Amino acid sequence: MNTVQRQIVLPFSKAIEIAYKSIRLRLSRSLLVTSGIVLALAFLMSILTTDAITESMRTWASSNSSTASQRLLSLMKSNGLPTTAEEIRNDRIQTRWLVGLALLVAFVGILNAMLMSVTERFREIGTMKCLGALDGFIIKLFLIESFFQGIVGTVVGVIVGLSLSLLSQAVTYGAFAWVNFPAMKIVISAGACLVVGMTLTVAGAVYPAWQAARMQPIDAMRVET
């Protein structure tokens, strides 16, 4: 009678089961959050891809003097792309700004989406703690949920961004887009996008969840949402 035991730690599979159920049950809500991640990543990925392709086309065009490369050069010029060394240098700086901007969009967009989706569940976190959930379990739950959302959102975002960018390059430059295709660079960009997307998503969910889990349950439930 007069004994207190230690609360059992639920197995990881139980957390996965509950997290999976939670995503499925709030499908429309989690799709909305995921679409935010998709948009941000698609933007970042398309900028990186477009930049890589332009760069490689320019290298190809200036490294030989065939009529085809002359045609590509004039095509690039008519599309407003820089051709002289001075212009190229300025363009590089511009691209860097654009990539920075895309990163910022991804950063703010994803963190905001995740913060919102966890904050509106503070009351739920408080309730779960009253029912005997351990802090670690709540963090695990959000870690798994955000991991699922992050992986889906990031992969879809990368695919969307890549295809849109390839499509627009193909429409503008036709076969020239493929002559010196920077496959390696694009794979690296996709990998970088994956890392950025996953990190932001998981960090954006786990940080507020960790905060809420540490709160006294009564305070977590008192937070106005």
Partner 1 sequence: MTVANDTIPTGGPTSLTEFTVRTIDVKRMYKMGAEEVHALRGVTVSINRGEYISIMGPSGSGKSTLFNMIGGLDKPSSGKVYIDEVDIAQLDSYELAWMRCHKIGYIFQTFNIIPVMTALENVMLPMIFAGLKTDEAQDKAAAILKRVDLGHRLMNKPQEMSGGQQQRVAIARAFANDPAIILADEPTGNLDLNTGKLIIELLRDLNKEKGVTIISATHDHKMLAVSDRIIWIRDGVVDKIQNRADLKIEEGTIQGAAGQELH
Q: Dig out the tokens for 9 from the structure.
A: 């730690």
Could you say which of 38, 114, 128, 141 contacts partner 1 (CB under 8 A)? 128
Distance CA 169, CA 108 (A): 28
Query: Residue 182 or residue 217: which is nearer to partner 1 going by CB?
Result: 217
> Are the beta carbons of 186 and 56 closer than 8 angstroms?
no
Q: Does 26 bind partner 1 (CB under 8 A)?
A: yes
Per-residue binder mask for partner 1 (CB under 8 A), 185-224, x = binder? -------------------------------xxx--x---
Q: Do the beta carbons of residue 202 and residue 146 sit within 8 Å?
A: yes
| Cβ-contact 154, 37 below 8 angstroms | yes
**Options 45, 133, 177, 212; binder of partner 1; rule CB under 8 A:** 133
The token duo for 215 is 């709160």
- Report the residue number, 6 or 66, with the smaller CB distance to partner 1: 6
| Look-up of token digits 């961004």 | 161
54 binding partner 1? (CB under 8 A): no
- What are the residues binding partner 1 (CB under 8 A)? 1-11, 14, 21-22, 25-26, 123-124, 126-135, 137, 216-218, 221
